[in-house]
Amino acid sequence: MLKLGVNIDHVATLRQARYKGREDVGEPNLLAAALTCEKAGAHCITVHLREDRRHIQDRDVFELREKIQTRLNLEMANIQEIIQIALRVKPDIVCIVPERHMEVTTEGGLNAVRQEKYLAGTIGRLLDAGIEVSLFITADPEQIRAAARLKSPFIELYTGGLAETVGTPREEKELERLIAGAQLAHELGIKVNAGHGINYMNMDRIYRIPHLVELNIGHSIISRAMATGLEEAVRQMLKLMEPYSL
């Protein structure tokens, strides 16, 4: 069964627009959103603790770790301050992502080839602490082979390129890259997740990517929740994921 991780960063984005510095009384309530996603059947709650704390705050991560019953996926850059927090929180899995100060959301994959020696120590520390690790990378063979050398148990394939090309002549090429990348990772013994830009309209394309374990979806679910409510938005996404076959 393909699993769903719901990224609730944009719940915090809305809260911070009015309650920055007063998160304990602010709305929408991040923990309540996470618990609603759990109730609807989400298999994982995903949050990105950014260096600039633009949406998720430290207290959010600790509260989620204490209160949710499903898995906690902490997205983070390879930054010592955030690594220390991860080691204290002990999420079920950490997804190491690139982070640029001017981006609205994560744009593109991590360059694991260029940063291999810097990632090795971080991955080792997290694994030694009993935390699973994923690298957020593009479906490039060299990036996937770097993940294998780094002994990362998971990768998360960046699907933003596919999302941006749906309905254009480039769509099939992007799908072929993702299919080949997932197959290579599987052959190398790496588990495969996927995320970025996946929504209710392009899910049928995701069906063609083999060996997927989990999808991490945020913006689309939170956006639909404005019309349907969060619980129903999660249920609708889970329903769309049912036809997927490994």
Q: What is the pLDDT of residue 156?
A: 98
- Residue 214 annotated among the catalytic residues of the structure: no
Between CA 165 and CA 79 the distance in angstroms is 32
119-156 pLDDT tens trace: 999 999 999 999 999 999 999 999 999 999 999 999 99
Residue 185 pLDDT exceeds 90 = yes
* Residue of 38, 75, 174, 214 with catalytic role: 75
Angle at 54 between CA 99 and CA 108, to 5 degrees: 25
pTM: 0.95
Q: What is the pLDDT of residue 106?
A: 56
Q: What is the pLDDT of residue 22?
A: 87
Q: What is the pLDDT of residue 21?
A: 84
Q: Please enumerate in sequence order all residues whose Cβ is within 8 A of that of 74, keeping only pairs 6 or more positions apart, or say none.
A: 46, 47, 48, 49, 61, 86, 89, 91, 93, 94, 95
Q: What is the pLDDT of residue 90?
A: 98
Q: What is the pLDDT of residue 171?
A: 96
Helix (H, G, I), strand (E, B) or coil at 21: coil
Taking each helix axis as running N to C, give the angle between helix 30-40 and helix 9-19, from 0 to 180 degrees, rounded to the nearest 10.
160
Question: 47-215 in CATH: which number?
Answer: 3.20.20.70
Q: What is the pLDDT of residue 24?
A: 82
- Residue 48 annotated among the catalytic residues of the structure: yes
Q: What is the pLDDT of residue 101?
A: 61
Between CA 224 and CA 205 the distance in angstroms is 20
- Residue 196 annotated among the catalytic residues of the structure: yes
Q: What is the pLDDT of residue 23?
A: 83
* Sign (positive or negative) of CA dihedral 212, 222, 205, 236: positive
Mean of pLDDT over the chain: 95
CA distances from 165 to 30, 200, 224 (A): 32, 15, 21
Between CA 178 and CA 35 the distance in angstroms is 32
55-85 pLDDT tens trace: 999 999 999 999 999 999 999 999 999 999 9
Percent of the chain with pLDDT over 90: 92
* Residue of 10, 48, 156, 214 with catalytic role: 48
Residue 35 pLDDT exceeds 80 = yes
* Residue of 10, 99, 196, 214 with catalytic role: 196
Percent of the chain with pLDDT over 70: 96
Q: What is the pLDDT of residue 125?
A: 98
Q: What is the pLDDT of residue 105?
A: 58
Residue 94 pLDDT exceeds 70 = yes
Comparing 102 with 228, which gets the higher pLDDT? 228
